[in-house]
Structure 1
Amino acid sequence: MVRVTRLNNTEILINYFQVETIEACPDTVITMMNGDRYVVREKPEEIHAAFRRFLSSMVAEGVRLSKEA
């Protein structure tokens, strides 16, 4: 999950695996697979970087757990 900020300054968590598109027009719009759309303050590049950090942390945790097994 990645935290983003709506235009009204409320924070929401976005499930990476449910994101269909992220576009700047000029505000950033995140469209989910179910059709829900969120307009957020972060730029697409920032969201992409946050998703990469999220995925990296998941891989690192998987490696850690496999070493414990």
Structure 2
Amino acid sequence: MITLTRLGAGQAIAVNPDLIERIEATPDTVVTLVDGHKLVVEEPLDDVIERVRTWRASVAAQAVQIFRQTEFDDDSLTEHDMSEVALADKAGAHAQVGRVLRMPTREV
């Protein structure tokens, strides 16, 4: 979740970045969610985008960390096996990140 500030009210709101369809500067920043709800926030467009990027990067990093901790946990691997594991780990991590960062779509 990212934290934004409702325009006028000064009220902090937590927004799930996966539910953001678009962000517009009109000149106020309007965040449109995939269900059509609109949030008018104090933060400028670039700031909201940066918060979403930072959140997504943290989710991806955590997914890779979890994948690495659970996938290959065997002390009996040889050096050759370890290089095979490293290749599989890298490919698996990329696939895992792709699954985690899949964007939702608006159902019409």
TM-score (norm 1): 0.94
| AA aligned opposite 2:4 | V
Instruction: Tell me which residue corresponds to 1:41.
Output: 42
Instruction: Tell me which residue corresponds to 1:22.
Output: 23
* Separation (CA, whole Å) in 1 of partners of 2:60 and 2:29: 27
Instruction: Tell me which residue corresponds to 1:52.
Output: 53
The number of residue pairs the alignment matches comes to 69
**Which has the bigger relative contact order, CA under 8 A and spacing at least 6?**
1
Higher share in helix: 2
| AA aligned opposite 1:60 | A
Q: CA deviation at 1:33?
A: 1.0
Structure 1: which 4+ aligned runs deviate by more than 4 Å? Answer: none
Instruction: Tell me which residue corresponds to 1:6.
Output: 6
* Separation (CA, whole Å) in 1 of partners of 2:21 and 2:69: 35
Gaps of 5+ in 2: 71-108
| AA aligned opposite 2:51 | A
Higher share in strand: 1
Gaps of 5+ in 1: none
RMSD: 0.7
Q: CA deviation at 1:63?
A: 1.2
TM-score (norm 2): 0.62
